[in-house]
Amino acid sequence: MTIVIEIPAFMSVIYPCIKKTIKMPIKSYLAHPHHGKKMELYQTLSALSKCEVIPAENKDLLILVTDTDSSSEEDRLQEKLQAIDSMKLLAMVSGFNTTKN
């Protein structure tokens, strides 16, 4: 069964527990850049492995999709994401649980 666990943007404050308990190898986020830093953020995220980035054409927003193979890899990626200066807010939107192909 594929169950979509979609977490409303801005709601990480409500769901800290989710991050601990649900293994979701594929996640999507809305990444909000700091003012004037959209291109810089796009380049930084695109350079990270296991990340795909889709910039909005007309708004200061990027969609980030991460696809990791293990929780340790996920944790390492999270650390890198936290350290990005050009990012104002990263809000998780969905997590998908799937068997590995």
The residues of the shown chain that bind another protein, judged by CB under 8 A, are: 1-11, 13-15, 17-18, 20-22, 26-30, 52-59, 61, 63-65, 67, 93-96, 98, 100-101
25: closest CA among 71, 62, 80? 71
Please identify, using beta-carbon distances, which residue of 5 and 48 lies nearer to another protein.
5
| Minimum separation from the CB atom of position 77 to another protein (A) | 15
| Minimum separation from the CB atom of position 49 to another protein (A) | 14
**Is 68:25 a contact under the CB 8 Å cutoff?**
yes
Here the tokens at position 43 are: 């380049």
Please identify, using beta-carbon distances, which residue of 84 and 92 lies nearer to another protein.
92
Q: Which residues contact 88 (CB under 8 A, 6 or more apart)?
A: 32, 33, 34
How many residues does this entry show for the chain? Answer: 101
| Minimum separation from the CB atom of position 26 to another protein (A) | 5
